């Protein structure tokens, strides 16, 4: 039977335990408490010494707290028992039970009785440690502390830490470099020094022919000027996106530091290197010669075979090759060209690149084996077809919106409107 609110705990003369005495079961208590206001429920909890942290609770939560702590109230006393008094009474009841039943051998009582006094430690399972009583007590407490360590705390202690702050999303400048890494002419010369799927070095040919060393490890590095300024350069992004084939939407490509688990996953899932990103054989051989990796008895430069003259056309005049006409060929791709066409082509462009592979001076610079030094870096642009040492100008979206940003990204320049 649900009691009316006016009959229960409405006045100060009726203490809260009167409410519990009238409500015999939990369902009746809940229905009775629903008739109270929130303020009255909070006052009831304060009288029960449970008023801490109830300011933001809803009515259902307040009722649940009252019902949960209902067993703490004695049924034969008209005054509320404080929690401190309840704990004291609980210990007294436990002592009385131990006196009445000294031979009880439950697991919980056995453990508690073994550690009630220092003398009992001698007969405990830890007595084999052969230490004094205080030492045994301290060692026992440490063992118990280790046994009750929560799984969340253990996971936190064993969690791998990143050597730099996690970057939640790429910046505008990083997105622009990602676009350049995907579209510009960048090539891989060599990959070496792989260490247990955790570290590997890549030699990259930049868009102007400069040679840079990229190291993919826990803290990725590059030898280019842009990385030395503190930026994430396009050469690191090139290795991630086009060599290791990491997804463009992966958070790993724009992090300043990677976890060991991330590195293992990247190297493990990396497919074979596509031929479209590999540098030419002449570039690879020249790099090995510069780094001292080439054998002394091997030829320094390979000879490109000249293609046959039959059934082909000159790439400049599109005429066939006759028997009396003098011809020459590109030292990079082997395509034939009329010498008269070469002279005319040279009058328009002193560099006269090959019309087919765009090698400067029809590959004659590469044939001489001359390595150019550009900005302190070895430059192999003359050995890679279609590559030039001229810088590419890049208009970022910020140039169109603000027209104030001007800087350099090792090989590319942001062209200002005021220049």
Q: What angle do CA 121, 123, 126 make, to 5 degrees?
A: 60
Across 15-24, 204-213, 364-373, 382-391, least confident range: 364-373
Ranges for all domains in the chain classified under CATH 3.30.40? 281-383
Q: What is the pLDDT of residues 365-388, one digit of tens each?
A: 555 555 666 667 888 888 887 787
> Cα-atom radius of gyration of the chain, to the nearest Å?
41
CATH number, span 281-383: 3.30.40
pLDDT at 354: 84
Rounded Cα–Cα distance for residues 212 and 221 (Å): 10
What's the CA dihedral at 194, 197, 201, 203 to 10 degrees?
A: 100
Question: Mean pLDDT in the chain?
Answer: 73
pLDDT at 11: 43
**Residues with Cβ within 8 Å of residue 201, at least 6 apart in sequence:** 191, 192, 193, 213, 214, 215, 216
Complete edge-to-edge strand list for the sheet that includes strand 187-195: 187-195, 199-205, 211-216, 221-222
Mean pLDDT of 349-369: 72
Task: Decide if 305 contacts 334 (C-beta within 8 A).
Answer: yes
How many other β-carbons are positioned within 10 Å of the β-carbon of residue 282? 23
pLDDT at 407: 42
Joined tokens for residue 104: 């009880």
Over 90: is that where the pLDDT of 165 sits? yes
> Which of 144-148, 351-355, 387-391 reaches the highest mean pLDDT?
351-355
Share of the chain above pLDDT 90, in %: 25
Q: Cβ-count burial of 300 within 10 angstroms (0-12 exposed, 13-18 middle, 19+ buried)? A: exposed
Task: Decide if 141 contacts 221 (C-beta within 8 A).
Answer: no
Task: Decide if 73 contacts 20 (C-beta within 8 A).
Answer: yes
């Amino acid at each position: 039977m649900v009691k009316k609110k006016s009959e229960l705990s409405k006045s100060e003369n009726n203490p809260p335990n009167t409410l519990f005495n009238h409500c015999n079961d939990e369902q009746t208590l809940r229905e009775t408490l629903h008739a109270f206001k929130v303020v009255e429920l909070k006052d009831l909890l304060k009288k029960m010494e449970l008023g801490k942290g109830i300011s933001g609770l809803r009515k259902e939560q307040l009722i649940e707290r009252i019902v949960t702590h209902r067993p703490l109230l004695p049924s034969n006393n008209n005054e509320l028992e404080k929690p401190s008094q309840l704990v004291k009474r609980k210990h007294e009841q436990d002592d009385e039970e131990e006196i009445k039943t000294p031979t009880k051998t439950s697991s919980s009582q056995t453990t508690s009785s073994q550690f009630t006094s220092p003398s009992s430690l001698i007969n405990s399972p830890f007595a084999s440690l052969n230490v004094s009583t205080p030492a045994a007590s301290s060692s026992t407490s440490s063992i118990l502390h280790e046994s009750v360590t929560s799984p969340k705390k253990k996971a936190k202690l064993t969690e791998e830490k990143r050597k730099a702050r996690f970057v939640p999303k790429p910046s505008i400048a990083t997105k622009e470099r990602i676009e350049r890494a995907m579209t510009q002419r960048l090539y891989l010369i060599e990959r070496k020094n792989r260490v247990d799927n955790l570290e590997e070095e890549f030699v990259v040919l930049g868009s102007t022919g400069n040679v840079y060393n990229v190291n993919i490890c826990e803290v990725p590095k590059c030898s280019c000027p842009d990385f030395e300024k503190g930026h994430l350069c396009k050469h690191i992004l090139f290795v991630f996106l086009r060599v290791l084939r990491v997804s463009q939407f992966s958070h790993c490509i724009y992090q300043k530091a990677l976890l060991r688990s991330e590195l293992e996953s990247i190297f493990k899932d990396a497919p074979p290197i596509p031929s479209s990103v590999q540098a030419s054989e002449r570039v690879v051989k020249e790099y090995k010669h510069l780094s001292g990796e080439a054998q002394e008895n091997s030829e320094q430069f390979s000879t490109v075979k000249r293609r046959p003259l039959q059934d082909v056309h000159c790439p400049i005049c599109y005429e066939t090759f006759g028997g009396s006409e003098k011809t020459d060929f590109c030292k990079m791709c082997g395509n034939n060209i009329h010498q008269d066409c070469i002279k005319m082509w040279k009058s328009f462009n002193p560099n006269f690149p090959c019309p087919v592979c765009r090698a400067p001076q029809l590959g004659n610079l590469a044939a001489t084996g001359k390595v150019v030094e550009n900005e302190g870096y070895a430059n192999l642009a003359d050995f890679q077809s279609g590559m030039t040492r001229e810088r590419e100008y890049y208009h970022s979206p910020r140039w169109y919106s603000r027209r104030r940003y001007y800087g350099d990204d090792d090989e590319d320049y942001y062209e200002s409107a005021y220049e």
